Amino acid sequence: GVSSPAPEKDLGPTYRPAAEKPTATVSKEVPFENVHILPQTPQLIALLTMIRDRNTERGDFIFYSNRIIRLLVEEGLNHLPVVAHSVTTPVGKDYAGVKFQGKICGVSIMRAGESMEQGLRDCCRSVRIGKILIQRNESTCQPHLFYEKLPTDIADRWVLLLDPMFATGGSAMMAIEVLKAKGVPEDRILFLNIIASPEGVGNFSKKFPKVRVVTSFIDQGLNEKNYIVPGLGDFGDRFYTL
Ligand code: PRP
Ligand code: URA
């Protein structure tokens, strides 16, 4: 694992003096331009605190995960290109705005990535969603590709790749290889992720420096079983079956 200490930050509204604000552990920073970490706000840290807690039961885990997923999707969409678009308002005045340009689709890495599909649908009406089934072998931690079903015109789309956990990075890198083999250029892929390890982000960014990663948190490291620490345990189990 990685040993540098976790950064701490005072959190809370600006009208309160620092001495009255609690200190919380916030995301590590990483020296990769393709990696975008959500602002470490009191809201985000409180949501992450809920889903990291081993005592949080499944209903709450789903609810609070969904709120973080929504933040990731909203931030991910900011990385898509826009073109100028002016409209006339009901009071007869013009407003110089923008609109999204280009087609998108989602691709979830099953099973845990499927938990992020609804958040994407909530922001992008009738968005097409492809699936890649990659499972980590529980003893070797090596990813295995079992299945993929993707939109036929995926090479012409921006792809929002979905997986909440980014541990060794093996699963995400395998998914990128699948997308590249279908003709999707690296710079049209956005990987949306809840918690990453520094090792995973490092391996991934060296191999695919043009794939943008939008994550809510870079954690301390990996344990001997390649689980993220402090992490939140097995995301798929907590969201779907625990
Ligand atoms: C988990 C997680 C990622 C992967 C991360 O999935 O959802 O896909 O492991 O680990 P990595 O970065 O080391 O590859 P898992 O294979 O356990 O399957 P699940 O989604 O069914 O829980
Ligand atoms: N998959 C998970 O669900 N959690 C981890 O910490 C690592 C892989």
The enclosing domain of 166 has a CATH number of: 3.40.50.2020
| Whether 140 is catalytic | yes
Cβ of residue 176 lying under 6 Å from some atom of ligand 1: no
| Whether 136 is catalytic | yes
The backbone region for 126, taken as left when phi is positive above 0, alpha when psi lies in -120 to 50, beta otherwise, is left
218 lies in which domain range?
27-241
One of 23, 41, 49, 140 is an active-site residue; which one? 140
What pLDDT tens digit does each residue of the chain (242 aa) get?
A: 555 888 999 999 999 999 999 999 999 999 999 999 999 999 999 999 999 999 999 999 999 999 999 999 999 999 999 999 999 999 999 999 999 998 999 999 999 999 999 999 999 999 999 999 999 888 898 999 999 999 999 999 999 999 999 999 999 999 999 999 999 999 999 999 999 999 999 999 999 999 999 999 999 999 999 999 999 999 999 999 98
Note the pTM of the prediction, 2 decimals: 0.96
Encoded amino acid at 81, one letter: P
Nearest CA to ligand 2 atom 4: 234
One of 52, 70, 121, 136 is an active-site residue; which one? 136
What's the token pair of residue 181?
A: 């083999």
Whether residue 64 is contained in a domain is answered as yes
DSSP SS3 for 57: coil
Whether residue 168 is contained in a domain is answered as yes
Looking at the structure of the chain, the number of domains it has is 1
Whether residue 17 is contained in a domain is answered as no
Sign of CA dihedral 215, 220, 221, 222: negative
Which residue has 């949501």 as its token pair? 47
CA 89 to chain centre: 35
CA of 227 to the centre of ligand 1 (A): 9
Whether residue 36 is contained in a domain is answered as yes
Q: Which of 171, 173, 177 is the best mutation target for the ligand 1 pocket, counting ligand atoms within 8 Å of the beta carbon and taking the most? A: 171
Whether residue 207 is contained in a domain is answered as yes
